[in-house]
Structure formats: C-alpha cells, structure tokens
Amino acid sequence: MSELATDFARIMREEGRLIILKALGEQLNESLNSSIIEHVLGTFAINMERPWVHQQIEYLEMMGAVTVVNAGTVKIATLTELGRRHLDRLGAIEGVKRPSRPGI
C-alpha cells in the first residue's frame, strides 16, 4: 500500500471516529447501535461495511470514549465522560480527529 493510501486510511478512521462521537452526543441517551452508525457514516461519504464500523467502535471503547454492549449482530455504543470532553474540546483522544472550534 502506498504512503498516500495509508495516510488516507488513517484520516478516514480518525474522521469516522469523530463522526461516531458527534452522532452519539446528539442523542438524548447518548447511545446508538452500529447499524444506525453505519448509516450516519454513509451520509458523510464514509461507506464502510459493519466490520469496519465495529473496529472503530472497539477502538473508541479501548480509548475510553464509549462503552459498548453487544446485542446480537450489532454493538450499542454509549458516549462516556471522556468522549464528551473530546467533543467539548476539553481533552483529546489519540486517533480521533479534533472537533472544529464552535463558529468555525
């Protein structure tokens, strides 16, 4: 794989993880299942299959940004305080794109 392709894959993962956190943060209960997350990512032209989505959710869980419950073939992700702090720009999670400053 070329360096450009490697960089693009990393950028897409980091962007996808931020989109996942933002989508969770918009929910009243701060939770979504991976099937819905897959659809949300698709609206941002990140059209990846569920195994890729699950990998990103698992990464966010490993970093402490979400908690995960397995429910059959889907994973239910819930935003944690650390994930909220990342969205609010009060901290940073490695491997997750930083959100833009409000108003920019």
Secondary structure class of 90 (helix, strand, coil): coil
Q: What pLDDT, on a 0 to 100 scale, did the predictor assign at position 2? A: 66
Q: What is the pLDDT of residue 6?
A: 74
pLDDT value for 94: 97
Low-confidence ranges of the chain (pLDDT < 50): none
pLDDT the model gives residue 101: 83
pLDDT, position 17 = 98
**Predicted pLDDT of residue 52:** 98
**Please, what CATH class does the domain formed by 3-87 belong to?**
mainly alpha
Tokens of 96: 């997750």
Domain boundaries, the chain: 3-87
Q: pTM above 0.75? A: yes
**43: part of which helix (H) or strand (E)?**
helix 34-43
Three-class SS state of 46: coil
Predicted local confidence at residue 102, as pLDDT: 75
